[in-house]
Amino acid sequence: MKALKVQAGKLKGKSIETPIAVAGNTNFTPAILKKSVFDIVGSLVLKGRLILEESAFVDFFAGSGQMALEAMSRGFARVVLYELAWERSDNLRKLFAKFGDNSEINRKDVFRFYNKLDIPEKSKIYFLDPPYSFWDKKKEKIKSLLDFLLNDTATVAVFIQSPIDPDWPGFETRKFGKNFLTFRANGVWNVSQLPNENVSEISEDISSFRENED
């Protein structure tokens, strides 16, 4: 089983296992895609759009919990995870219990409970990695969920991983091998406004990833 490693912060190098397969689903977030998410988060911090110590990182369809653990390592005030599968959610509770009380694990159906969220932090970042099978029949439902989250002024940005380019107006999408990262930040902001060093770094990472993939 492949180990997933924390890339930066106080828990850098910490390894966790890939999520337990549910109905044959063993998809997880590749390191290059995870790095891109947190490079963008870092740029929001640099621009004063996000104060990590006052913010929550919310991980829907959390799986292994690697994205929330990365967020915790990098200094988010709290991480909130939603995972419906029994065994996965139990493993998440055991994992995050080792790192203090700034995490919340919910075994709930995101589509049923997203409009009942109670996350009091001043700022929120959302990451979603729904099962890839959802994209065949639930694409519009996923979009409605994102629109609801972005309607909250406390939401700084939303990120979603997918097997296809959703091609949604107002969102930006990057391709990493067979995976896509689509995101949007509230307010006037786009990738062209990233600090130059971050844009260069991300471009180099993408090029390196493609070379290794070939």
> pLDDT for 16-50, tens place per residue?
877 665 544 556 899 999 999 999 999 999 999 99
> pLDDT for 167-187, tens place per residue?
999 999 999 999 999 999 997
Strands (E), 64-122: 78-82, 103-106
pTM summary value: 0.86
The CA angle 204-28-166, to the nearest 5 degrees, is 70
Beta strands at 103-106 and 78-82: parallel, antiparallel or unpaired: parallel
Q: Where are the domains of the chain?
A: 33-115+122-188
Q: How far is CA 214 from CA 32, 96, 174, in A?
A: 15, 36, 18
Cβ-based burial of 48 (10 A; exposed 0-12, middle 13-18, buried ≥19): exposed
Q: Is the distance from CB of 125 to CB of 141 less than 8 angstroms?
A: no
Domain 33-115+122-188: top CATH class: alpha beta
